[in-house]
A = this chain, B = another copy of it.
Amino acid sequence: MKLSQGVEWCLHAVVLLGQLPQGTVLPRTLMAQHHGLPDDYLAKYLKQLVRAGVLMASTGPRGGYRLARPAERITAWEVIEAIEGGQSFFHCQEIRQCGTGAARPAECTEPCAIHQMMHSAFLTWKDQLSQTTVADLVQQVPEHVRERNRQGLLNA
């Protein structure tokens, strides 16, 4: 099992936007070149971020993507949710109710122990990612790198 690489790309894209002055619009081409990513394929994922309300897109000259909200109010989980769908990666098939040892529906009023454990672990994972904002990630980028990125992107 592995996450789509789009998760990494989108997180980097959002962090990149978070390094620029609030409201800055960045064309996809620049983003892709900055990280050495295929422009067309990156579009597939950024589109999903727009749908999820994380980014806003504008077309035409001087168009591009910008953060839909201040970086402090966008969590890493929102980005992952937009790409991966946000549902638990464990899907209980209720096999306890199948086969010769099937439990009766009356005995299955609540999820089985395995389901509960997996769901609990997933919530822990999700919660941890929900507590990290894009602003937190931006702050961990060294200042001189941020400055270099601003110079490279705003003057382009």
Contact count band on A = 35 or more
Q: Does A60 contact B (CB under 8 A)?
A: no
Contact stretch, chosen from A49-57, A62-70, A97-105: A97-105
B95 touches A36 (CB 8 A): yes
Contact A89 B1 (CB under 8 A): yes
Q: Mark A129-156, 1 if CB is under 8 A from B, else 0.
A: 1001000110011100100110011000
**How many copies of the chain does the oligomer comprise?**
2
Quote the shortest CB–CB distance from A17 to chain B (angstroms).
13
Residues of B within 8 A of A12 (CB): 95-96, 114
Residues of B contacting A148 with CB < 8 Å?
101
Q: In the complex, A60 Cα to B34 Cα: how many Å?
A: 61
Does A20 lie at the interface of the complex (its beta carbon under 8 Å from any beta carbon of B)? no
Q: In residues 97-124 of chain A, which contact B (Cβ within 8 Å)?
A: 98-103, 107, 113-114, 116-117, 120-122, 124
Bound state CA distance, A3 and B90, in angstroms?
A: 6
A58 at the interface (CB under 8 A from B): no
Query: CB distance B152 to A137 under 8 Å?
Result: no
Q: State A100–B34 Cα separation when bound (angstroms).
A: 5
Which residues from B are CB-within-8-Å of A124? 124-125, 128
- 5 residue pairs of the A-B complex, CB under 8 angstroms, read A1-B3, A35-B99, A37-B95, A76-B114, A76-B117
Nearest 4 A/B pairs, CB to CB: A36-B99, A36-B98, A113-B140, A34-B101
